[in-house]
Structure 1
Amino acid sequence: MSANTRGAPQMPPAPNKEDAVATWNYLEAGIDRVMLHLEHGIDMHTYMGVYTAVHDFCTSQKAVGLGMSSGASIGSGNHRGAHLLGEELYRKLSDYLTKHLHQVLQEARTHSNEALLAFYIKEWNRYTNAAKYIHHLFRYLNRHWVKREMDEGKRNIYDVYTLHLVQWREELFKNISDKVMDAVLMLVEKQRNGETIDHSQIKQVVESYVSLGLDESDPTRSTLDIYRYHFENPFLAATAKYYENESKQFFTENSVVEYMKKAETRLDEEKDRVDMFLHPDILHALQKTCEKVLISDHATLLRDEFQVLLENDREQDMARMYGLLQRIPEGLEPLRQRFETHVRKAGLNAIEKVASENPEKLEPKIYVDALLEVHTQYSGLVTRAFREEAEFTRSLDNACKEFVNRNEICKSGSNKSPELLAKYTDVLLRKSSTGIEEAELEGTLARIMIVFKYIEDKDVFQKFYSRMLARRLVHSNSSSDDAETSMISKLKEACGFEYTNKLQRMFQDMQISKDLNNSYREHCDSLESNKAILDSQYSILGTGFWPLQAPNTNFSPPGEINEEIERFTRFYKNKHEGRKLTWLWQLCKGELKAGYCKSSKMPYTFQVSMYQMAILLLFNEKDVHSYDDIAAATLLSQEVLDQALAILVKAKILLVSPEGKPESGSELRLNFDFKSKKIRVNLNLGGAKESKQEEVETNKTIEEDRKLLIQSAIVRIMKARKQMKHMQLVSETINQIKARFVPKVPDIKKCIEILLDKEYLERLEDDDLGYLA
C-alpha cells in the first residue's frame, strides 16, 4: 500500500456503522479506488476504513434501505441478521463486478487483433491485481459468511478473489475469448513466418486462461478445462492447418531430404515455443499434432526415399529420417525390412564377387574378410544412423545370417562357411602367420567371432577347428598359447562349456605330455648303460578327446626308432598300468642328418615324416633299393608308400630308374649330388593331400555325429515327456539342436524311425509316440 494518492478520487467520510446504505456507498467508492486507480496506490487510512466498513456492514444490527423495513431490529445475539447482511454484501459486490465488466467488454469490442490482445492483457493484469486487494479487504466476509455457505455445500459461492475470476469468465471472457484467440494465433503465425513478436503477450494470455479453470464441484480446486477448450484446442487445430499447407507447398518445390531438414527444424521450433510462452501441458499434444502433419501424412514419401539414401551411403540423411519416423507408431518397421533386404543383397553380391575373382580356389581370408567388410559397414550404420536400436540390430543379424549361410560359395556345400572360417582361424593361429602383433591378433580373433555368431552349423566349425587345433598342438605349430586359450574362451562364452570341453582337454593332454617327457628324460639319465640315443618327444593324447584316427596302413618302424619306442613304452606302462598305447605314425616326424652329399661342406638336415625316415634309413645299408624291397621292409600300403616316395624323388633326394613314377619294379638310389640352398630341408610336405582327405573324413563324421545328436535329443525329450505327437516331437527337437546346427525335418523323421526299430520309442494312437524305458 502507498500513501501517495495523487490522481485518485477522494474517499467519502467514514459512514455510520448502523447505516448499511451509507456503508455500501463507502465500500463502493473504495472498490472503485482499488479497481480503477490502484496504480496511484492506497493509503493505510483508506485501507483500514474499507476493511472496517466491511466488518461493520456484516455485523450491523439494522438494515436500512436494504430491502427491510427501516429501523427493524434483527435481534441481538441472533446470527441470522449478520447472515442476511453477509449475503447482501456478497450480492452487491457481484453486481458491481458485473457492471464493471460490462463496461470493459464494451471497450474491448472497439479493439481487434494485436490491439485487442494488448487491451485484454492490460485489463486482466489490472483486474486481477485489484482482485487480490479486494480479497484482503473482504477478509471478514470470506472468513464468516462465505466459509459457512461453502461448508454447507452451497453452489456458486466463492471466496472474493475467486468471485472476481468467475465474473471475468462469465461476463467478459466468454464474449471475447474467440477474438482474443484469433489475435494470439495471428501473432504465432507471424512468428512461424519468421517475424519477431512480443511472445510475453501470449504467455500472459495463457496464464489468464489457466487461472480461469475453476472446478465447479469444488471452487477450492482449479482445472485446465478452460485453457484446453479455449486455448489448446484452437492452437492445435491452427497448428495442424498451418503445417498442412506449408508441407504441401514445400514438397512441390523441394526434395525429400530438404523437407526432412525443414520438418526437423519445425519440430524443434514448436518445442522451443512451449518453453517460451505456452503451458507445459500442451507439449505432448502439440508434438503429436506436428508429428502427424509433418511426418505421418508424408511417411510413404519418406520411406520411398530410404532405398536411395541406402544405395548412396547418405548416412546423415538416414539418421535424420530415422529421427523423424521413430516419432510415429510403426514408423520404422518398413525401413527395417528394406534395410534387411539391402544388407542381405550387399552380402550376397560381395561373396559372388570374390567367388568370380577366385574361381579355382578361394582363400579363407578373402572369404571371411568379404563377410566382415559388409557387416562392419552396416553395423556402423546401425550405430551411427539408427542409434543402435535393437530392432535395426535384429534386422542386421537376420540379413547377416542369410548371406553367411546361403551364398554363392555355400551352394557347393552348406558346410563351406564354418569350414572356411575354421581354416582362416587356423592360418592366424599357426606359426607361419608372421608379421601379426599380439594385440592385432586378438582383434582379428574377436572379428572372427562376429562371423561365428551368424553361422548356423556351429558343429561343422567345431569339427574342423578341433582337427586343426590338434595338428597345431601335435606339431608344436601354435603361434601363441595365449592366443589359443583366448580363442577357446571366446568359443566357450558363445556356445557353452560342452562345446569347448574337448578342446580344453587337448590342451591339458599337452601339458601332461610335457611333464611326462621330463620324467622320461630323468629316467633315461638314471640308466647310465642305456641312455637314450635319440632326442625324442612324446605326446600322449586321450582317445576320446582328440579328433585323430589310427594309421590307415601297417608300418614297421626302423630299428633305431623301434628300440627307443620300446624303451618309452616300458616306462609308460610301468607308470600307468592297464593303458594301451596306439602309435599315430602318420603324425610322427623327425630330423635326419645327411653327411653323404658331395656338394655340401656341412651336412644337410632333412625334416621328414616317420614314413620318410623309415625309407631313408634303409639307405644306410646300401645305396640302391628296389621299390618292392622298401615296401617289404616298411610294410607301408602302396598309397602311403607312393606318397612318401613321390616327395623324396621330387626333391631329388632319391633318383628312380627307369625314370618316372616309383612303382613295383623300379629301383631307387641315393643322389650323392643332391644340392640345396638351405641347410635345413623340409621334406614333410604331405599336408595338402592330407587336408583334402581330412576334409572328406571330417564331413563324413559330421553327418554321423549329427544323427547321434538328433537321436539323443529325441530320447531326452521323450524320456521327460513320456508321450508326444509326432510333429510336436520334431518341432521340440529342432528347438533343442538349432544352437549347434539346423536339423532337416527328413533327418529327424529318419532318426525317429531308427529309435522305433531299436525299441526306444513306440507308436500309439492318433499319431502319438510313447517312450519305452
Structure 2
Amino acid sequence: MTNVPTNSDLETTWTFVEPGLKLIIGGGVDDNEGVNPKMYMNVYSAIYNFCITKSSSSGNLAPNSGSQSSLLVGGEIYNKLKGYLSLYVTSLEKNPGETFLEFYVRRWSRFTIGAGILNHVFDYMNRYWIQKERSDGRRDIFDVNTLALLTWKDQLFIPNSEVLIKEILEQIKLQRDNQVVDTAKLATAIKSFVALGIDVNDLKKPNLAVYIDHFETPFLAATKQYYTAESSEYLASHNVIDYMKKAEQRINEEESRETLYLDEHSKKPLTDRLNEALIVAHKQVMYDKFNELLDQNQIDHISKMFGLFNRVQSTLEPLSDLLSDYIKTQGNKAIENLKNDIANDLTKANLPVSGGAILKNVDPKLYIRTLIQVHKTFDGVVTAAFQRNPIFVKALDSACKGYINDNSIAKPSGYKGNSRTPDILAKYSDVLLKKSKDADAVGDMSLDDIMTIFRFLNDKDAFETYYRRLLARRLIHGTSSSEETEEAIVHRLQSENSLEYTSKISKMFQDIRTSHELRTLFKEEASKDAELARAADFEPFILTEMMWPFNHTPNKFQIPTDLEASFLKLQDIYQSKHNGRVLKWQWNLCRGDIRANLSKPGKVPFTFSMTLYQIAICLPFNETDTYTVGNLLELTGLDQVSFTSAIAPLIKFKLFTQEEGSSIEDPNTKITVVKEFKAKKLKINFAALVRGIDNSKEQEEAEKEINDDRKMYLKACIVRIMKTRKSLAHNMLINEVIQQTHQRFSAKIADIKKCVDELVDKEYLARKENQTYDYLA
C-alpha cells in the first residue's frame, strides 16, 4: 500500500481518509454504497500510521518527560472526526414526500452501521489515546462509536424529537384503529432511543433516560387516554360480556406490541395504564354483573372476569366478598327449602309445625347432602373459574362456615344455643356407620362427606361429643358395619385436628379390644364348667368410666339366677388380672337373646332379643305363668319407671297379657305369659322397642358435657399460657386463649373471664394492677 501516507502531517492524512470515511458513514451518492476491503485497510493504515509516527516523534522530543500521555497521540485527529461527524449529521435531509419518521429510520439504520465500522477503523486511537484520556478523568472524550451516537443525539434527535415522537404515536394509534402500519420502522425508531441513552460518566451502565423522557412518558399518557375514551364509548353501546371480551382482546394486542417494539422497562407501566383504563375504571359495572353470571352458571364469562381482575390484585378482594356472600345466600336458601319441605310434611301429617318439631324431623342424610351439594357446586366454580386462587378458596371456606354453622335449621330464629349442625353430622355418621339391611339407603353417603362438613364446623368439640355418644352405642350393641371403617374415620378426625381431640374415642376402641381379650378368657373358663356353658357367648365390655358417655346410676337390680354364675366368674377373672379396680355395672345397657318355646308343638322356637331388664322379667315365668307387678318388682329389684319401660313392649306385642282394667303401676296387677305367641318372624327384637332416654334430656346431657369440657379446656389453656408467660395483661391473655381454642370451638369472652376468675379464686393466678395477671407456681 505505497499510496498510504506515512508521515505525521494531519492535513495530508485527513485528506487521504476523508473520502473513505464518507463512504463508511453513508455519505456517498448511494447511501447503501459499501466500503471495499482495500479502502477499509487504506483508511485504517493511514490513521494508524499517523498515530504511531506522531507518538514516536513526540517520544524523541521528550525522552525523559516521564509522562505517558506525551507518547500517545490522537487528540488532533479525534477533533477532526468529531467536527466531521457533526457536519455530516446536520447536513442530512429528507427526500421529497418522505415523513420524518421514515427519514429518521432510513438514516439511523445506515448511520449506526457506519458508526460501528468507524469504531474499528479508529481502533488504535480507541485502545490507546481515548482509553488513556478517560482513565485520566476526561469524561468529554468517547470511543468513536459512542461519539457518533452522541453527535446524532445532539444534532438530529434532540432538535426534532417532538416531531418524531408525534409521528410514532400517530402510527401506534393507527395500528390500534386496525390500520396497517410498518411495525419494523416503529421498532427501529423506538430502539434507537434506548441506544441514545448514554451515561457519559459510565459508558457501560445502561441508561434509559432518553427512552423514558422522550418516548415512554408520552406513550403511556396517550395509551391511557386512548383506552379510557374507547372503553367508556364501548360500554355505552355494548353489554358487560362483550366489553370483557373487548378488554381482553385489547390487552392481548398491547402485550403483542410490547414484544415487537417496546423496551422491557415499559411493560409494567403499560400494564398499569391498561389496567387502570380497562379494568379499574369499570370494575363496578363488572361487579354488578357477577351475581347474574353465577345465577346462570356462566363459568366461561366468570373465568374471563377473573382473568381481568387478576391483573389488579386490589380488585380481587371485593370480588371474593361478592362470591362469599352469594354462596352464603345459596346455602341458606337450600336449607330454607329443606326446612319448608319438612314443614309441609308435618302439615300433611296434621302435626304441629315449630322449630323444635322441624329439628326433630330433620333427616340427617338430606341435611348433610344439602350442605355438601352447595359446597360441591361452588368448589367446582372456584376450580373452573378461579383456578383455585387462594383468595377465592378462602372466600369459599368462609361462606361454607357461615351457612353450615348458622342456618334456619342449625340456629332457628330466637335460638341462642350452639349450632345443631355438629349434632346432625354425628347422626349422619351414625346412619352411615351402622349396620343396614338397605344398602341403597347409604349408597350415596361417604366418609368424605363427613370430613368435608367437619372441616367447616366452628364447634368441633360438640361434634366429638355427639359422635362419641353414638359410637358408644354402636360399639356396645354391636351395630357397627365395620370396625375398620370406624377406626378409619377416627384417624381422619385425628389428622384434621389433633391426637388430643380423639383421645377419648381412641381409649374407647382400646377398651373394646381389652374386652375381647376378657371374653376369650371367659370362654376358656366356660368350656370347663357346664353351668357356665349356657352363657358361653356372653360378651362383657369393660369401659373406662371417664371416657364413655354413660352415667352410672346405682340401683337395686337383681341379676337373674340363671346368669349369676357367669356374672361372678367374670368378676373373678377380671379382678385376678386387675387387682384393686372397682367394677360398676351398667345393667341398663345389657342385651341378650333368649329362646322361647311358645309356638305350636313341633315348630321352631322363637328367639327374642331383649334388654337385661326384660330378660329378668321373663325368666321367672319359667316357674309359673302369672305374677303380680309387685312380685316382679321384688324379683328383679327394678324401680317402677325402668320396669314399666321394659315390660310395655312385651305387653303391647302380646307376649304377656295384663289383667283387664288394671294399671301397670298397680302392684296387684296380674301379668300372665301367653300359651302360644303369634308372630310372622321367628326372631324378634324387643330391645329396640324399649323407650329410650327422652331426646330433650339426652340433648341436655350432651350440652352439659360439652360446656363442662369447654370450661376445663379453657382453664387448661389459661394455665398453660400463664405458666409459659409468667405475667400477662388481661386482653393479651384473652386473645391467646381464643387463638389456642379456635380449632375446637369458638370461645366466648364471657366464659374465658369466668374461668380466669375461678383460677384466681383457686390461687392459680394472681390479679395485679393495670389488669395484669401473674402465674402462681
Q: Deviations over 1:131-159 (max 9, x none)?
A: 22222222333234333322322232222
8 Å Cα contact 1:427/1:433 also seen in 2: no
Query: Partners of 1:82 and 1:748 in 2: how far apart?
Result: 90
Query: Partners of 2:184 and 2:714 in 1: how far apart?
Result: 76
8 Å Cα contact 1:12/1:26 also seen in 2: no
Q: Structure 2 vs 1, CA of residues 254 and 513 (structure 1 numbering), >3 Å: closer, same or farther?
A: same
The 10-residue stretch of structure 1 (246-255 or 723-732) with the greater mean CA deviation from structure 2: 723-732
Instruction: Determine whether 1:269 maps to 2:253.
Output: yes
| Secondary structure class of the residue paired with 2:165 | helix
Structure 2 residue aligned with 1:709 = 713
Structure 2 residue aligned with 1:97 = 85
Q: CA deviation at 1:735?
A: 3.5
8 Å Cα contact 2:20/2:35 also seen in 1: no
Q: CA deviation at 1:418?
A: 1.1
Q: Structure 2 vs 1, CA of residues 772 and 433 (structure 1 numbering), >3 Å: closer, same or farther?
A: farther
Q: Structure 2 vs 1, CA of residues 56 and 431 (structure 1 numbering), >3 Å: closer, same or farther?
A: same
Query: Partners of 1:239 and 1:586 in 2: how far apart?
Result: 83
Query: Partners of 2:460 and 2:53 in 1: how far apart?
Result: 100
Q: CA deviation at 1:503?
A: 1.0
Structure 2 residue aligned with 1:67 = none
Q: CA deviation at 1:666?
A: 2.6
Query: Partners of 1:733 and 1:46 in 2: how far apart?
Result: 89
The 10-residue stretch of structure 1 (21-30 or 729-738) with the greater mean CA deviation from structure 2: 729-738
Match of 1:744 among 741, 748, 758: 748
8 Å Cα contact 2:598/2:677 also seen in 1: no
Letter in 2 for 1:240: K
| Secondary structure class of the residue paired with 1:669 | strand
Structure 1 residue aligned with 2:692 = 689
Q: Structure 2 vs 1, CA of residues 182 and 619 (structure 1 numbering), >3 Å: closer, same or farther?
A: same
Query: Partners of 1:82 and 1:760 in 2: how far apart?
Result: 92
Instruction: Determine whether 1:668 maps to 2:671.
Output: yes
Query: Partners of 2:441 and 2:692 in 1: how far apart?
Result: 31
Alignment of 1:111-510 (within 5 A): 111=97, 115-359=99-343, 360=357, 361-409=361-409, 410-411=411-412, 412=415, 413-432=417-436, 434-435=438-439, 444-510=446-512
Q: Deviations over 1:14-34 (max 9, x none)?
A: 557465433322211222233
Structure 2 residue aligned with 1:618 = 620
Alignment of 1:520-531 (within 5 A): 520-527=522-529, 531=533
Structure 2 residue aligned with 1:555 = 557
Q: Structure 2 vs 1, CA of residues 764 and 686 (structure 1 numbering), >3 Å: closer, same or farther?
A: farther
Query: Partners of 2:292 and 2:590 in 1: how far apart?
Result: 60
The 10-residue stretch of structure 1 (507-516 or 11-20) with the greater mean CA deviation from structure 2: 11-20
The 10-residue stretch of structure 1 (86-95 or 250-259) with the greater mean CA deviation from structure 2: 86-95
Query: Partners of 2:333 and 2:188 in 1: how far apart?
Result: 63
Q: CA deviation at 1:91?
A: 2.0
Q: CA deviation at 1:530?
A: 6.3
Q: Structure 2 vs 1, CA of residues 191 and 552 (structure 1 numbering), >3 Å: closer, same or farther?
A: farther
Query: Partners of 2:336 and 2:382 in 1: how far apart?
Result: 24
Match of 1:512 among 497, 509, 514: 514
Q: Structure 2 vs 1, CA of residues 588 and 84 (structure 1 numbering), >3 Å: closer, same or farther?
A: closer
Letter in 2 for 1:107: K
Query: Partners of 1:765 and 1:221 in 2: how far apart?
Result: 63
Instruction: Determine whether 1:51 maps to 2:44.
Output: yes
TM-score when scaled to structure 1?
0.89
Q: CA deviation at 1:703?
A: 2.7
8 Å Cα contact 2:596/2:607 also seen in 1: yes
Alignment of 1:584-663 (within 5 A): 584-598=586-600, 601-658=603-660, 662-663=664-665
Structure 2 residue aligned with 1:677 = 680
TM-score when scaled to structure 2?
0.89
Letter in 1 for 2:700: V
Q: Deviations over 1:282-334 (max 9, x none)?
A: 21221112111111222232223323333433322222222222322521122
Q: Structure 2 vs 1, CA of residues 186 and 748 (structure 1 numbering), >3 Å: closer, same or farther?
A: closer
Q: Structure 2 vs 1, CA of residues 346 and 597 (structure 1 numbering), >3 Å: closer, same or farther?
A: same
Letter in 2 for 1:507: F
The Cα RMSD (Å) is 3.0
Letter in 1 for 2:611: S
Identity value in percent:
35
Q: Structure 2 vs 1, CA of residues 51 and 768 (structure 1 numbering), >3 Å: closer, same or farther?
A: closer
Q: CA deviation at 1:452?
A: 1.4
Query: Partners of 1:743 and 1:621 in 2: how far apart?
Result: 60
8 Å Cα contact 1:654/1:669 also seen in 2: yes
Query: Partners of 2:539 and 2:601 in 1: how far apart?
Result: 32
| Secondary structure class of the residue paired with 2:500 | helix
Q: CA deviation at 1:753?
A: 4.1
8 Å Cα contact 2:658/2:669 also seen in 1: yes
Q: CA deviation at 1:768?
A: 4.6
Q: How many residues end up aligned between the 2 structures? A: 747
Q: Deviations over 1:665-697 (max 9, x none)?
A: 432222234322211111112466336243332
Q: Structure 2 vs 1, CA of residues 579 and 44 (structure 1 numbering), >3 Å: closer, same or farther?
A: closer
Q: Structure 2 vs 1, CA of residues 305 and 599 (structure 1 numbering), >3 Å: closer, same or farther?
A: farther
Letter in 2 for 1:635: G
Letter in 1 for 2:422: P
Letter in 2 for 1:145: W
Q: CA deviation at 1:560?
A: 0.8
Query: Partners of 1:249 and 1:12 in 2: how far apart?
Result: 75
Query: Partners of 2:541 and 2:504 in 1: how far apart?
Result: 16
Letter in 1 for 2:76: E
| Secondary structure class of the residue paired with 1:88 | helix
8 Å Cα contact 2:118/2:145 also seen in 1: yes
| Unaligned ranges ≥5, structure 1 | 1-10, 63-72
Q: CA deviation at 1:552?
A: 6.2
| Unaligned ranges ≥5, structure 2 | 344-356
Structure 2 residue aligned with 1:69 = none
8 Å Cα contact 1:647/1:685 also seen in 2: no
| Secondary structure class of the residue paired with 2:580 | coil
Query: Partners of 1:250 and 1:424 in 2: how far apart?
Result: 54
Q: CA deviation at 1:430?
A: 0.7
Q: Structure 2 vs 1, CA of residues 507 and 84 (structure 1 numbering), >3 Å: closer, same or farther?
A: closer
8 Å Cα contact 1:599/1:675 also seen in 2: no
Q: Structure 2 vs 1, CA of residues 55 and 679 (structure 1 numbering), >3 Å: closer, same or farther?
A: same
Q: CA deviation at 1:721?
A: 4.7
8 Å Cα contact 2:718/2:737 also seen in 1: yes
8 Å Cα contact 2:331/2:374 also seen in 1: yes
Query: Partners of 2:601 and 2:659 in 1: how far apart?
Result: 22
Q: Deviations over 1:198-223 (max 9, x none)?
A: 32222222232222221121345442
Q: Structure 2 vs 1, CA of residues 85 and 563 (structure 1 numbering), >3 Å: closer, same or farther?
A: closer
Structure 2 residue aligned with 1:33 = 23
Query: Partners of 1:29 and 1:533 in 2: how far apart?
Result: 126
Q: Structure 2 vs 1, CA of residues 676 and 74 (structure 1 numbering), >3 Å: closer, same or farther?
A: closer
Q: Deviations over 1:532-564 (max 9, x none)?
A: 555322222222322222246431122111232
Q: CA deviation at 1:758?
A: 4.2
| Secondary structure class of the residue paired with 2:145 | helix
8 Å Cα contact 1:627/1:667 also seen in 2: yes
